[in-house]
Amino acid sequence: MTVARSSLVSMAVTPYYHVIGRCVRRAFLCGVDSLSGRSYEHRRNWVVERLAVLSSIYAIEVCAYAVMSNHYHLVIKLNPELADTWSNDEVLDRWCSLYAGSLLVQRYRAGESLGVGELSVVSQFVDLYRKRLADLSWFMRGLNHDIACRANAEDNCTGHFWEGRFKSQALLDEQALISCMAYVDLNPIRAGMSDTPEQSDYTSIQQRIDELEKDTATKTINPESLSNVIPSLLGFTARLDDDQGLPFSLTDYLELVDWSGRAIHPHERGKIADAVPTVLLRLGIAPDHLLRYLSRQEQGFAQVMGKVTTIRNAAHQLSASFLKGIAAANRLFPQFN
């Protein structure tokens, strides 16, 4: 049964969300169609470039992404507090860089003289646009509509390109966030498309590694594997009380992804490496069940993901009698039973 988006996305519950967009009838977004032999690989760059544009305009930050052959994964953070810091003119500039805006807004931005009543209406539009610039549904509309139009034009066809609507899952705590980010970044490895995170094209983990190596001057960036236009990724702070970045260190995260990637390698499926990353011990995540989750063998979560306590708190905040995931949370995060 479908659930109203307003019942799934709530800043009172969490600012972090896992989002999935899938092509209708599993049509090709990217990759090579084995039946026709036609390559759609260039469309991966469309998604990454569009994410770069939208993340520079919206008060929504990209934590992780992976662009696959017929779907994509995102982990995003809503940041309405950032939108509140923008001036009225900045809100209009940002909105009108994507959309035309109302006729009154166009006249205002053109410098025409407006009456008091007209300025009041413009102010109402500013308030509306400010909310939309921090809204997940509008962000996803800006992404999916652009890709669909370009793909349909290229294929010389009309109709739906994406499934009815994108799917979203609330990530309620740092345990859910780091687990889901690793899940997203390891998609190409799990699918057998690459052997290592740094070889996983069109993923945030490859972008982070390339940016890190560029900063340390150890490697020349390969322009074919990393777009010249890339999303601005939310950084790491390693402080749980710092809401300006991801609440764990980049070193911890890279160690976790590297360990997980080796453990779920297609030729070594299910193997648990000897050296378990310390971040798992610190966050109370069960290594064997994390690998089951990363390999899609653990599918006990639905609209939300997190510890037992945060799932129950979210149910209370959303006035829901029950949210699926308690049993899975007990397995994945046993320290918090």
Confidence (pLDDT) at 51: 95
Determine the Cα–Cα distance for residues 256 and 278; give it in Å rounded to an integer: 9
pTM: 0.89
Helix (H) or strand (E) holding 255: helix 250-263
Least-confidence region, from 18-32, 100-114, 277-291:
18-32
Confidence (pLDDT) at 222: 47
Type of residue numbered 287: P
Average pLDDT for residues 19-47, to the nearest whole number?
Answer: 79
Confidence (pLDDT) at 198: 87
Q: How confident is the model at residue 266 (pLDDT cuts 50, 70, 90)?
A: low
Determine the Cα–Cα distance for residues 177 and 305; give it in Å rounded to an integer: 8
Confidence (pLDDT) at 240: 52
Average pLDDT for residues 195-205, to the nearest whole number?
Answer: 89
Straight-line distance from the first to the last Cα atom of the chain, in angstroms, rounded to the nearest whole number: 29
Confidence (pLDDT) at 301: 92
pLDDT tens-place string over residues 285-313:
998 899 889 888 788 898 999 999 999 99
Rounded to 5°, angle at Cα 281 from 180 and 255: 60
Report which listed range, 32-46, 257-271, 282-296, is most confident.
Answer: 282-296
pLDDT tens-place string over residues 147-179:
989 988 888 888 888 887 889 999 999 999 999
Confidence (pLDDT) at 41: 82
Select the more confidently predicted residue: 215 or 330.
330
Query: Do you know the residue count of the chain?
Result: 337
Q: How confident is the model at residue 1 (pLDDT cuts 50, 70, 90)?
A: very low
Q: What average pLDDT does the chain have?
A: 85
Average pLDDT for residues 268-279, to the nearest whole number?
Answer: 65
Task: Report domain extents, the chain.
Answer: 12-79+135-336, 84-132
DSSP 19: E
Q: What architecture (CATH level 2) is domain 12-79+135-336? A: 2-Layer Sandwich (3.30)
Least-confidence region, from 58-67, 221-230, 243-252:
221-230
Helix (H) or strand (E) holding 294: helix 287-294
Confidence (pLDDT) at 226: 42
CB 187 within 8 A of CB 72: no
Determine the Cα–Cα distance for residues 234 and 62; give it in Å rounded to an integer: 6
For the cut 70, the answer to whether the pLDDT of residue 268 exceeds it is no
pLDDT tens-place string over residues 131-143:
999 999 999 999 9
Rounded to 5°, angle at Cα 186 from 10 and 289: 75
Average pLDDT for residues 121-137, to the nearest whole number?
Answer: 96
Confidence (pLDDT) at 219: 46
Type of residue numbered 261: G
For the cut 50, the answer to whether the pLDDT of residue 197 exceeds it is yes
pLDDT tens-place string over residues 313-322:
999 888 888 8
Confidence (pLDDT) at 31: 66
3-class DSSP state of 66: strand
User: Burial of 248 by CB count in 10 Å (0-12 exposed, 13-18 middle, 19+ buried)?
Assistant: buried
CB 179 within 8 A of CB 186: no
Half-sphere exposure of 159 (CA within 13 A, CB side): 8
The DSSP annotation for 215-226 comes to HTT-S---TTTS
